[in-house]
Structure 1
Amino acid sequence: MAEKKIVVKVDVADDDEKRKAMMAVSVLPGINYMSMDMKEKKMTVIGTIDPVKVVEKLRKRWNAHIITIGPKEEPKKTENKKEEPKKDSAEHLAELVNLYGAYNPHLTTHYTVISREEDPNSCVIC
């Protein structure tokens, strides 16, 4: 038997009744997950359990009726994402250098090399 998700509307007034309703259903075999939304007064049960038995247990004390019965997980929606074309490493490196140049405009992009023979003030011993 496949797992299914059962959503039941239960008329409970407070947290104490919520706890009692969850205890009443939790004794049934085959439950893997159970939660209750107090704002909407909906109990969600996931497992290999008969939905009629869940409602029978709840109707002994509270007004309850089944809202939905379906598969365990809802089908996932796939979005069509447009992938950017991959750049080769040279284009990527050039783009990074341009971005860094915009970030640091005082970046020295060229160096001057002077040999010791041309500079009269250079140290001869070194």
Structure 2
Amino acid sequence: MQKIVLEVTLSSNKSSTSILTIVAKLDGVKSMKLDEKKNRLTVVGDVDPISIVEAIRKKKKHAKIVSVGPAEPDQRDLSGYNPYYNWNSTYRPVHPYNWSEPYRPVPCASISYDEQPTGCVIA
């Protein structure tokens, strides 16, 4: 990984947002930081500095390479890190609720018989 520092021209908040959007779409970009006071864009990742400048210039923005060098290694010490150390026992794990709609009964025909075959009743 390498650290690339670019000097860009920023005229408004919209131009800084568009530059960050352009650089974020490139493959290999790990992180980026824009310093609006110094007009500097710092990009860390496995990306070609020329491709960054070309992508920014394609959108009619000015960019110039200031420096290219190796990225600083991560300074955090994760040797004693345990993600479950602060786990509270009152929290229960969330299990998916496995429920499905019950099967509906199959409709069946009902047969009714008439007691009088003629259907007439004389009383």
TM alignment of 1:75-86, pairs within 5 A: none
Q: Aligned partners of 1:32 and 1:12: how far apart in 2?
A: 22
Structure 1 length-normalised TM: 0.55
Structure with higher helix content: 1
Q: Aligned partners of 1:56 and 1:5: how far apart in 2?
A: 17
User: How many corresponding residue pairs?
Assistant: 73
Three-state SS of the structure 2 residue aligned to 1:7 is strand
Aligned-residue RMSD, C-alpha = 1.5
The aligned amino acid for 1:17 is S
Match of 1:48 in 2: 46
Q: Work out whether 1:15 is the aligned partner of 2:13.
A: yes
Structure 1 residue runs of 5 or longer lacking an equivalent are: 77-126
Q: Which runs of 4+ in 1 moved over 6 A?
A: none
Q: Aligned partners of 1:62 and 1:32: how far apart in 2?
A: 22
- Kindly provide the CA deviation profile for residues 18-76 of structure 1, in whole angstroms up to 9, marking residues without a partner as x: 000110111110011011000010000000000000000111211111000001018x9
Structure 2 residue runs of 5 or longer lacking an equivalent are: 76-123
Structure 2 length-normalised TM: 0.57
